[in-house]
Amino acid sequence: MGPNGEAEVGSDGPRQKGRATPDTITIGCIAQVTKDGQPRRAEILSIKETKSGRQFYCNFDNFNKRLDEWVPVSRIDFDQDVEWPNPDKDKQKDAKSKKSTTVSKKSQPSKKAQKKVGKREQSVASEGQTPHPWTEFVESQNKVDGEDKANASLEVGGTPGLGPDEMELDEDETPASAAKKEHTQSFSREQEIEKLRTSGSMTQNPAEISRIRNISKVEFGRYVLFPWYFSPYPEVFSQEDCIYICEFCLSYYGDLKSFTRHRMKCTLQHPPGNEIYRDDFVSFYEIDGRRQRTWCRNLCLLSKMFLDHKTLYYDVDPFLFYVMTTRDDRGSHLIGYFSKEKESADGYNVACILTLPQYQRKGYGRLLIQFSYELSKIEGKLSSPEKPLSDLGLLSYRQYWSELILDLLLGYSEREEKCTIETIATRLAMTTQDVEHTLQALKMQVYHKGEHKIVIPEKLMHQREKSRAKQKRVIDPDRIQWKPPVFTAASRTWGW
């Protein structure tokens, strides 16, 4: 999956093929790499040296980026040809994938020259120093833990195999290709920024996203989280084995002592806003991005580690954050949240939505989605989440939509009443488009004897029975204490 929207890695035309060795394989090469015991095409996005040997950051064919990982040489099949980066056709692509690396040079003009390379490689090198619990290479990666940090910059400088990715590329470029690259790059970026600015969007073109995870491990409350994607925490954090995040104010620390000191002083025990919903199980808080700028920024940084298409390009001011928590004797613990534009020109009721990994697959996402629609009902609007959805987001939404529409239709079917797509949409505060898509996805829309009809398949009814038995909790709309907030120009400026 490159940045150009192709379905597979490096699918932008034919590439030169040939044998490679661990020393000659470069960034941008596509090779067969073992993943979950199976060979799979993978693009090499970065290379680093560790004590246990060279490691390669791989992005696998048709696998989500969250499954990218550092692999040792042994997992790459050098008996098969690798696809070399296409010097012409890959210019644009390479330019983009190189961006994070070249940029770090430019953006740190004050740093000394020898530090630059070390710094960049280190930022890459840190990833994977801490094992991901589910990789097969926990041990090998554990070995380098600790010493690796100190060694990284030294080894980087001294290893011949490392240089090429960046240095050579810069030298390779003919003026023409460089200009071409510059042009395409700046054009798309301008377009994209324009899009971001005008739409108030929180999502972003993959071209803008740094493709390599920069934080490997996060201490958060009672849990250790393993980030999925890049998040623009302070750049030095990429050198840390682990970062520490206060689970109440979401402040971030690279240093355990600092974090401990912070915990002694921090008095926050719930999200800093008004509670607008409470039942025996969860609470919802409404947080204004403008009023609680620091907290909301912290929340965005945290969630970016688990949301690929979220962008932190612009500030949080124009958003409200609806934060779901669970209570115990230590406070209201963050489960998940969704953000919502204060004024959405496109009628979105959700900009970003996330259940933290430690709470996933427990039905919390459904509560978040339901809550977003309950707010839309209070506003009297038909709404939809902002696109693109993540894969997990799509599944959660599909399931929510399916179940609610199915329940509604079963009622109509029993009463032998007819219904329209519009009535379904109105009852559920969904857009008619989402209703139609759901009906189609469930294969419920049929054309029969000259009429459009809705058919409820037996299979769905059985599945619904099962899921209803499993499903424990829903939001009780009567417990919501909320009025749609009104933001005048003055209130945005002065907080009046």
Partner 1 sequence: MATRKVRYKKLSVKTLLSVLREDQIDPTEYESLTNEAQIATGVEQAEENEYHLQAVLQSAGVAADKEIPVPPPQESTLNYDELYSRRFSKTSTYIRFSQTVEECIGCMYDMTEDDEAFLKSYNQKRAASAQLSEDDFEKIMDVFEDTSYIKAPFASIDQTIVPYQDMLQGLQDLDNAKVMPHAKDIYEYWKSRRQALNNQPLHPTLKFEKHQDSDEADPYVCFRRREVRQTRKTRARDVQSAEKLKRLRKELEEGRQLVLAAHQRELLKAEMLKADRAIFELRAQLKEHKIRLGIKTDDEDLINQKVSSPLFIFCHTQFDTDTSQPQKRKAPEAPAVQRPPPPTQLRIAARSDGRPTEADLSLLADRLAEKENELRADIEKKVQSHNEWNRNHLDLTRGPLSPVHEPRQDVSFRPAKTQYLMTPPTSASGASLEEPTPMELDKPQNPQPVFKFRGVARDEESRENPPAYRRRIGRLNRLWIDRRGMASPPREVSAEVLDRWKYDQSSDDEDDPPLYEVDPFDTNALRFRASIPLPLWMTNRAAVPNARAPLPPPQQPPQPQQPQQPVSQPQPQPQLPPPAQAAAAAAAG
Active site (catalytic) residues: 386
What angle (nearest 5°) sits at the alpha carbon of residue 242, between those of residues 291 and 257?
Answer: 75
**255 belongs to the binding site for partner 1 (CB under 8 A):** yes
Indicate which of Zn ion, partner 1, none lies near residue 34 (CB less than 5 to 8 Å, by partner kind).
Answer: none
Q: CA 489 to CA 496: how far, in whole Å?
A: 9
How many CB atoms are located within 10 Å of the residue 368 CB?
24
Our CB check for partner 1 shows the closer of 49 and 247 to be: 247
Indicate which of Zn ion, partner 1, none lies near residue 224 (CB less than 5 to 8 Å, by partner kind).
Answer: partner 1
Q: CA 364 to CA 335: how far, in whole Å?
A: 8
**E strand or H helix that includes residue 17:** strand 17-18
Indicate which of Zn ion, partner 1, none lies near residue 318 (CB less than 5 to 8 Å, by partner kind).
Answer: partner 1
Residues 415-454 that bind partner 1 (CB under 8 A): 417-422, 425, 432, 436-437, 440-443, 445-448, 450-454
Token pair of 411, please? 């009622």
Token pair of 370, please? 């339901």
How many CB atoms are located within 10 Å of the residue 61 CB?
19
Give Cα 416 to chain centroid, integer Å: 44
Residues 85-144 that bind partner 1 (CB under 8 A): 99-100, 102-104, 106-107, 109-111, 132-134
* Residue of the chain from 73, 178, 312, 378 that contacts partner 1 (CB under 8 A): 312
Our CB check for partner 1 shows the closer of 5 and 347 to be: 5
Q: Give the three-state DSSP class for 207.
A: helix
Our CB check for partner 1 shows the closer of 418 and 472 to be: 418
Site for partner 1 (CB under 8 A): how many residues? 165
**6 belongs to the binding site for partner 1 (CB under 8 A):** yes
**266 belongs to the binding site for Zn ion (CB under 5 A):** yes
Indicate which of partner 1, Zn ion, none lies near residue 154 (CB less than 5 to 8 Å, by partner kind).
Answer: none
Residue that has been written with the tokens 């995870």 in this structure:
213
Mask 137-176, x = binds partner 1 (CB under 8 A)?
Answer: ----------------------------------------
Our CB check for partner 1 shows the closer of 79 and 486 to be: 486
**80 belongs to the binding site for partner 1 (CB under 8 A):** no
Our CB check for partner 1 shows the closer of 17 and 387 to be: 387
Residue that has been written with the tokens 């038909």 in this structure:
382
Read off the DSSP letter of residue 310: B
Phi, psi of 230 (to 5 degrees): -65, 140
Q: CA 40 to CA 63: how far, in whole Å?
A: 10
Q: Give the three-state DSSP class for 2.
A: coil
Indicate which of Zn ion, partner 1, none lies near residue 448 (CB less than 5 to 8 Å, by partner kind).
Answer: partner 1
Q: Give the three-state DSSP class for 70.
A: strand
To the nearest whole angstrom, how small is the minimum distance from the Cβ of residue 79 to partner 1?
A: 24
To the nearest whole angstrom, how small is the minimum distance from the Cβ of residue 261 to Zn ion?
A: 11
Which amino acid is present at 141? Q
How many CB atoms are located within 10 Å of the residue 455 CB?
15
- Residue environment code for 205-234, b if the CB has 16+ CB neighbours within 10 A, otherwise e: bbbbbbbbbbbbbbbbbeeebbbbbbbebe
Residues 205-264 that bind Zn ion (CB under 5 A): 246, 248-249
Indicate which of Zn ion, partner 1, none lies near residue 161 (CB less than 5 to 8 Å, by partner kind).
Answer: none
To the nearest whole angstrom, how small is the minimum distance from the Cβ of residue 64 to partner 1?
A: 6
**389 belongs to the binding site for partner 1 (CB under 8 A):** yes
To the nearest whole angstrom, how small is the minimum distance from the Cβ of residue 110 to partner 1?
A: 6
**178 belongs to the binding site for Zn ion (CB under 5 A):** no
Q: Is the dihedral of CA 378, 379, 381, 385 positive or negative?
A: negative
